[in-house]
Amino acid sequence: MRKIIHIDMDAFYASIEQRDHEEFRGKPLAVGFAGERGVVAAASYEARKFGVRSAMSSKQAIQRCPGLIFTSARFEIYRSVSKQIRDIFFQYTDLVEPLSLDEAFLDVTHNFKNMEFARDIAKEIKNKIFKETGLTASAGVSFNKFLAKIASDYNKPDGLFIITPQKAEKFVENLKIEDFFGIGKKTAEKMHQIGINTGLDLKKKSEEDLIKLFGKHGSLYYLNARAIDNREVNPNRIRKSVGSENTFMEDTNSLPRLYAELETICRDVIHRMNKNSFKGRTVTLKIKFSDFKIISRSKTITSFITDFPQLYKIALELLYSLDLDKKIRLIGVSIKNSESDLGNDIPKNFQLKIPFKEFKDSYH
């Protein structure tokens, strides 16, 4: 029986800003840009009481909470604090799988301190995080990743919730389907339409039926409804893509402006690639028009893209291929198909470089 902990920081970005700025404490705060096209990156718990959520437009957030305070994001600070937290995790186990800057899975079945109970480890980690960073974290403890992730969200903020093997299946049966880890809004809506509202409803469906309805994810839903998740904590998660995008303050179809923005985005993508030692061959251009219609165009080349001129040239080619009959709201570029994904699709005359030096995945 494995012992898995999921640690999730409480309102991470907003909590750091409240920690560092006394004038923000106890007040509804949003990290982001308050302008017409702004988006909330994170919201404090005071703001969440008004229904303000991350990824919400700033305009909508202000409508819900007229007294909402906005502050700019400081990602270098967030990454620094994230590293502090990651260092605490590694005091207990090497099996740490980061999901983002503010959350991670830990497999503490065999831990460096030979502690018997995962619950005690989770308590220690929460206490150390608070002592070293002044921030609170919530922890979920169970015997698999699916349950640990759900548990960490159960008593937020500053929560600790344990799902034991004896209680797991009954717990999942009573769980709302939208609270399942891995079931997004659209999938939940589809499930509601066919009468799946709880874990028990999901459990009544056969694996064959779920595969017909949801493809390969159907098998996972079938297992999760029975509190089963065989995935291991993976300390070497492989980054599949790197990208950057920007929403214009005003919709535009000005080619000079699009070229300039595309240049900025491509430079940012190259910077992120270099920072994460990422390599890719497939470039995707994403466009969102003023009517919110989204299209994308991709191009794959035979060698890895390594510099800005090469990436910018391909991005421009993709832009030239589009019929820009409407104004554009958002433009973005991403690159994927990393070295680990090549498999048998290695181009002829291509020499694969094998890194022998071991390294730990970056905490992103």
Between helices 75-89 and 12-20, what is the axis angle to 10°? 110
Domain shared by 331 and 288, yes or no? yes
Say how far apart CA 245 and CA 294 lie, in whole Å: 13
Residue 245 sits in a domain of what CATH number?
3.30.1490.100
> What residue ranges of the chain have pLDDT lower than 50?
340-364
Domain shared by 151 and 202, yes or no? no
pLDDT recorded at residue 292: 85
Domain shared by 4 and 143, yes or no? yes
Please indicate, yes or no, if residue 363 is contained in any of the structural domains.
no
Residue 54 sits in a domain of what CATH number?
3.30.70.270
Please indicate, yes or no, if residue 350 is contained in any of the structural domains.
no
Domain shared by 126 and 3, yes or no? yes
Q: Active-site residue 97, yes or no?
A: no
Question: Which of 315, 239, 258 is CA-nearest to residue 283?
Answer: 315
Residue 212 sits in a domain of what CATH number?
1.10.150.20
Domain shared by 27 and 131, yes or no? yes
Could you report how far apart the first and last alpha carbons of the chain are, in Å? 29
Domain boundary among 134, 163, 192: 163
Q: How many domains does the chain have?
A: 3
Question: What is the domain range of residue 193?
Answer: 168-224
Active-site pick, 17, 46, 97, 103: 103
Written as one letter, the residue type at 313 is: K
Between helices 75-89 and 118-133, what is the axis angle to 10°? 140
Longest dimension (CA), the chain: 64
For residue 24, give both structure tokens: 């923000």
Domain shared by 250 and 298, yes or no? yes
pLDDT recorded at residue 266: 94
pLDDT recorded at residue 338: 59
Please indicate, yes or no, if residue 315 is contained in any of the structural domains.
yes
Report in angstroms the alpha-carbon separations of 253 from 242, 261, 287, 314, 332: 25, 12, 11, 19, 15
Domain shared by 157 and 139, yes or no? yes
pLDDT recorded at residue 238: 65
Say how far apart CA 352 and CA 279 lie, in whole Å: 12
Please indicate, yes or no, if residue 35 is contained in any of the structural domains.
yes
Domain shared by 114 and 5, yes or no? yes
Domain shared by 129 and 21, yes or no? yes
Say how far apart CA 237 and CA 90 lie, in whole Å: 16
